[in-house]
Amino acid sequence: MEKHGEDRKEPKVEIGNEPEERSFSSAYQGATRPSSIKRWILVPILLLGIVGLAFGLWMILPSGGYLSKKQPESPELITLKAEVLRLKGESDLFKKEIQSLKEELKIFQEQAKSFQEQAKSFQEQIKALNGQLISLSKKKEPQEDKKPAPKAVVYKIKKGETLASIAKKFRVRPDDLRRWNRLPSKGKLKPGQIITIYFSTP
């Protein structure tokens, strides 16, 4: 009886081991399958993740999405922008004024240069005229030296002579005779009267 019982137990053990071996072999076969199926599943998932990430970044970045829409500006920012534009306009106007002043200064410098050249020309002309005057004065000086000095003569009036005849004789004017001798304009000369006559000798 004991042997028969032992014989029965052994088959049970053997029968019980068969499923374990089968399950192990099936698991081994499943583990050794190609990974191509997993790749085909993972690739679309990765692509979808990349596309979603790119879309999220596009929505967040200022170049697109919600942030790209114009947001209402604060009054301080509006005032600051207006001040910047005003300063820029004043700067442009100031630059134009500086350019205009530079052009006017250039014209003034050219005019000043022209005036200097004219003044230099006038100075040269004046210098030349002074030289001519000096040369003329030098030429006239000998002529003036050649002129005889006036000579004073004491003359005694003769009978029948008049102021006009005496003036003609000494080549002077009757008025000069009256002035030199303080004679009256209507008075007559008397014989023996002494007068002074100034005349130049030839």
Percent of the chain with pLDDT over 90: 0
Asked if residue 38 has pLDDT above 70, the reply is no
pLDDT tens digit sequence for 105-129:
889 888 888 888 888 888 888 888 8
pLDDT of residue 53: 80
Which of the pair, 140 or 88, is modelled with greater confidence? 88
Classify residue 198 by its DSSP letter: E
pLDDT tens digit sequence for 52-109:
787 777 766 655 444 445 567 788 888 888 888 888 888 888 888 888 888 888 898 8
> What is the chain's mean pLDDT, rounded?
73
Instruction: Return d(Cα 185, Cα 182) in angstroms, integer.
Output: 9
165-174: list long-range contacts, CB under 8 Å, 24+ apart.
166/195, 166/197, 170/197, 170/199, 171/199, 172/197, 172/198, 172/199
Which of the pair, 178 or 147, is modelled with greater confidence? 178
Q: Which residues of 3-42 are buried (b: 16+ CB within 10 A; e: fewer)?
A: eeeeeeeeeeeeeeeeeeeeeeeeeeeeeeeeeeeeeeee
